[in-house]
Amino acid sequence: MNVLDYSIRLGKLLRKTEEGREILRLKTEIEDKYRENSDFDQYKNYVEIKSSQYYFYSWDMAYHSFLNVLTDESIEHRELFLTTAELLSSDDKIKSLAALLVSFGHIFNQIVLVIIGGRGQEENVTDNWKYKVKNAISDVQIAVERTLLVRSMISFYQKNNRSFDNEETQRYLSKRDEKSILPFSDKAMKLMDEETEVSNEEKLLLEKLYLVMEAVKKGIFYGFFGMINEIQREEILDSMDFTDITLKEVSFSHKNTFSLLLNHVWLYRIQLEKEYMYFMAHEKQIHIDTEMTEVSGIVYPEDDRGMFDTLQQ
């Protein structure tokens, strides 16, 4: 099992916490109320599209984006969003769900910091969670440690006599954040080529850090909501070896299925002959006419132990 496997398992256990049960209860109640309602579907689709970037905060972000339509007459094609905005503004339960998910988003961020930084759970994890959840957090921590992330970062900055928050590195990270760049995407590689103030070794180290953080976030989030695209090798329309393509953006096409058409999930579990791979998607283009979907993203390493042991691509 790798970081993604353990993170998905943690996400599934978080569903069973008091906070998780309340989120799922309210979400199900709202979705049942607005089943086959095109205005609510517009909100829900926007939430799903933004979830790969905002995770639990995507409900609140989308909620306030639509409410802004009610007062901002300068918004382009405003009339297309008005009825959805009016629906959202009239339903206090949708507002409550968005607020609830903001609170859980804070907890989610804290868990990620605990996992990545190896910080103690006692001071940073909710007291009333059962041992099974806390043990699952520890398992993700151990999986991250096995990538040698923290050890490699400490070693690099000690060897180069500089801190993580030096001016050049922070400028580089700010550029990544401003452009919402995903790890090892084509945009990330382009920025790495253009940036000259930071060494190639440090840029690759930071990119791997972002990759592991993204794996933890996606695993917990999609595990929590039970939203992972399961796909068989025979459904993929390209002949490519998924076991030999890591740490660079690749694209493939797969057959459209009913379940895949109805979601904007950005994590795939690809079943090969005797093993499986995870694919962290960045972009998707669904083609109804040819009954296929094009997906771009990153194949997460099946075995991520020692990922930071070498900084060679």
Residue 218 lies in a domain: no
Per-residue pLDDT reduced to its tens digit, 197-254: 999 999 999 999 999 999 999 999 999 999 898 888 888 888 777 777 778 888 999 8
Per-residue pLDDT reduced to its tens digit, 135-152: 999 999 999 999 999 889
pLDDT at 262: 59
Residue 99 lies in a domain: yes
Q: At residue 297, what are phi and psi to the nearest 5 degrees? A: 170, -155
Return mean pLDDT, the chain.
89
For residues 265 and 229, the answer to whether their CB atoms sit within 8 Å is: yes
User: Among the ranges 17-31, 244-258, 291-305, which has the highest mean pLDDT value?
Assistant: 17-31
Please report which helix (H) or strand (E) contains residue 306, including its range. none
Final residue of a structural domain among 65, 95, 128: 128
Per-residue pLDDT reduced to its tens digit, 159-172: 988 888 899 999 99
Residue 142 lies in a domain: no
Residue 44 lies in a domain: yes
Residue 163 lies in a domain: no
Residue 136 lies in a domain: no
Number of domains in the chain: 2
Residue 146 lies in a domain: no
Per-residue pLDDT reduced to its tens digit, 78-107: 999 999 999 999 999 999 999 999 999 999
Residue 91 lies in a domain: yes
Could you list the residue range(s) of the whole structural domain that residue 82 is in?
18-128
3-state SS track over 84-130? HHHHHHCCHHHHHHHHHHHHHHHHHHHHHHHHHHCCCHHHHCCCCCC
Final residue of a structural domain among 74, 93, 128: 128
Is residue 10 classed exposed, middle or buried when 0-12, 13-18 and 19+ CB atoms within 10 A define those classes?
buried
The pTM of this model reads: 0.91
Write the CA distances from 256 to 31, 123, 286, integer angstroms.
Answer: 24, 46, 8
Final residue of a structural domain among 128, 146, 175: 128
